[in-house]
Structure 1
Amino acid sequence: MIEVDDVSVRFGGVRALTGVSLTVERGQTCGLIGPNGAGKTTLFDVVGGLCRPTSGTVRLAGVDVTGSGAVRRSRLGLRRTFQRPQVFGRLTVLENVLAAAEWHGGGGGLAADLVGWPARRRLERRRRERAAAVLERCGIADLSGAYAADLPIGRRRMVELARAIVDDPAVLLLDEPTSGLDADQAALFASVVAGLDATVLLVEHDVGFVMAACERVVVLDLGKVIADGEPARIRDDPAVRAAYLG
């Protein structure tokens, strides 16, 4: 579902990534870990379309998106969250989640808006029902009418997750998903992600969370992949311990 082939990224004279290759299979949850400066965020942004590689290719579901931006990738089913939650502060929690489905349109154009076309009303009702179900799943249904700007970071992160999954993503990128969450919130977040029918790639400093939530872990150091495998094997890998876990 995600294919990164021999990707390198340079910022001036700095090599952020060197010949990185990574494949994440459909439905798999894969974690990226490594010390600060290892290239995790750069690789993450290459997959998400916020950073164009100096060389190499990126594919989503077999489609070459190397030269495509984030909007094009979102149309292919990619959604993401950010290290600092990006919510629409002046919208309510429910409106934040509904916004993720608006790109589909409602059919009928301006005329349907003006006359309240029945099909448009049915579509809006289904969207609201779907949004309400996702808010319930994320444990924030009671906050649907609250403004996102008024919420603490943990709740805002759950709003961002709800917005990312309401449209049934094919690929979900999670950037430091447990940052700002308490233990109960982190457990709920992991439970929601585990129940998705999506390919998940996450960057996270909480190694315990990664080892518990991911089927596979990739370790970066100095812009290169130094280990790739199941959590138990990664945990015991001497090179990983020397570079990061030790």
Structure 2
Amino acid sequence: MSTVIEVAEVGVRFGGVQALSGVSLAVRRGGTCGVIGPNGAGKTTLFDVVTGLRRPTTGTVRLDGRDVTGTGAVRRSRLGLRRTFQRPQVFGRLTVLDNVLAAAEWHGGGGGLAADLVAWPARRRLERERRERAAAVLDRCGIGDLRDAHAADLPIGQRRMVELARAIVDEPAVLLLDEPTSGLDAEQAALFAAVVRDLETTVLLVEHDVGFVMAACERVVVLDLGKVIADGEPARIREDPVVRAAYLG
């Protein structure tokens, strides 16, 4: 299988702190890879580098064979890379439905301002199709009945599901999930896992819930103090003495 994400010898320094050091990671197309490690290991920093929110001090990032090291987050998102955050980032003043629709608006509607003014039939059809797609994704994420609620009024678990729906409505090529089960109850976590499992996309996730990672991922990478200390199948990672000493205990 071809590689869709390739991180090569990435280093990130914050003043005198080396947050990442020589990190290399390749994720195959359609694969599900988990990144675990203790607090301060560099997991979120790695995500920021992959998504373009932070430029590495050293090393390169390639997306589907293309060097995107110097490319910003917006451009990478339009290349098919989507992300959720450790603390859900929703548009609080918008409804749940509008939060999800926002992820598809960058495609435009064709015809420009004139099409808006005359209510061009093609524009209306496209808007209807987007709304139907968004509604279907909300139902899939178990929050279809909340489509008219304002995102700011929702508890963290439901906001996290809104963020997931927004991330997948535009059919991403790569989905990065940062602490996806944080704030979810057992039922929501199971639904979240089921939605992600059914996606036909590449998934890279950071998660403190080791059980969730071991069950959801076919491969696990372990970071400690900004370095990769293990990389392999969940069963091997679980028994790795170095990983147990550094993280699993």
Q: So what's the TM-score if we normalise by structure 2?
A: 0.98
Gaps (5+ residues) in structure 2?
none
The one-character-per-residue Cα deviations of 1:7-38 (angstroms, maximum 9, x if unpaired) are 11111111111111000000111110001111
| Residue in 2 that maps onto 1:178 | 181
Gaps (5+ residues) in structure 1?
none
Q: Percent identity?
A: 86
Q: Given the alignment, which residue of 72, 76, 80 partners 2:75?
A: 72
1:41-190 counterparts in 2 under 5 A? 41-190=44-193
User: How far apart, in 2, do the equivalents of 1:99 and 1:55 lie?
Assistant: 34
User: How far apart, in 2, do the equivalents of 1:38 and 1:87 lie?
Assistant: 26
The alpha-carbon deviation at position 192 of structure 1 amounts to 0.4
Number of paired residues?
A: 246
- CA RMSD, 1 decimal: 0.6
Q: Which amino acid aligns with 2:208?
A: H
User: How far apart, in 2, do the equivalents of 1:99 and 1:223 lie?
Assistant: 34
The one-character-per-residue Cα deviations of 1:71-114 (angstroms, maximum 9, x if unpaired) are 11011101100111111111100010001000000000001101
| Residue in 2 that maps onto 1:37 | 40
Q: Given the alignment, which residue of 167, 176, 200 partners 2:203?
A: 200
SS at the partner of 1:130?
helix
Q: Which amino acid aligns with 1:103?
A: W
User: How far apart, in 1, do the equivalents of 2:162 and 2:78 lie?
Assistant: 21
Q: So what's the TM-score if we normalise by structure 1?
A: 0.99
| Residue in 2 that maps onto 1:15 | 18
SS at the partner of 1:172?
strand
SS at the partner of 2:152?
helix
The one-character-per-residue Cα deviations of 1:192-222 (angstroms, maximum 9, x if unpaired) are 0011111111111000110111111000011
Q: Which runs of 4+ in 1 moved over 3 A?
A: none
User: How far apart, in 2, do the equivalents of 1:245 and 1:100 lie?
Assistant: 37
